[in-house]
């Protein structure tokens, strides 16, 4: 199966929204069974987005997974890029 990187950019000044949905987001990452790695983008320590690498069947599955993320459902992201990704190192 291919890997997909989700590159998510938060809307401006949405840290309270991020914090309010963090527990549900982490539960989704941990229980979906497809998350390989994930973490926030930082700007001086403030979280400004997310990088999530998932192992799913195809782009449609990656896009569906991204839409079901509690952060996405809460309206946290200004933009979400879904990119097919090939692991080379690590």
**pLDDT tens profile 17-70:** 999 999 999 999 999 999 999 999 999 999 999 999 999 999 999 999 999 999
Using the Cα atoms of residue 59, residue 60, residue 65 and residue 70 in order, give the sign of their dihedral.
positive
Task: State residue 20's pLDDT score.
Answer: 97
Task: State residue 90's pLDDT score.
Answer: 82
Residue spans of the domains in the chain: they are 3-85
pLDDT over 80 at 1, yes or no: no
pLDDT over 90 at 12, yes or no: yes
Task: State residue 11's pLDDT score.
Answer: 97
> Homologous superfamily of 3-85 in CATH?
Dimeric alpha+beta barrel (3.30.70.1060)
pLDDT over 90 at 2, yes or no: no
């Amino acid at each position: 199966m291919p890997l997909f990187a989700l590159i998510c950019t938060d809307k401006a000044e949405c840290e309270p929204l991020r914090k309010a949905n963090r527990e549900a987001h982490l539960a989704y990452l941990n229980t979906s069974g497809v998350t390989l790695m994930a973490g926030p983008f930082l700007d001086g320590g403030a979280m400004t987005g997310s990088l999530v690498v998932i192992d799913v069947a195809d782009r449609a599955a990656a896009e569906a997974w991204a839409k079901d993320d509690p952060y996405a459902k809460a309206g946290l992201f200004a933009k979400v890029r879904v990119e097919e990704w090939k692991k080379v190192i690590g």
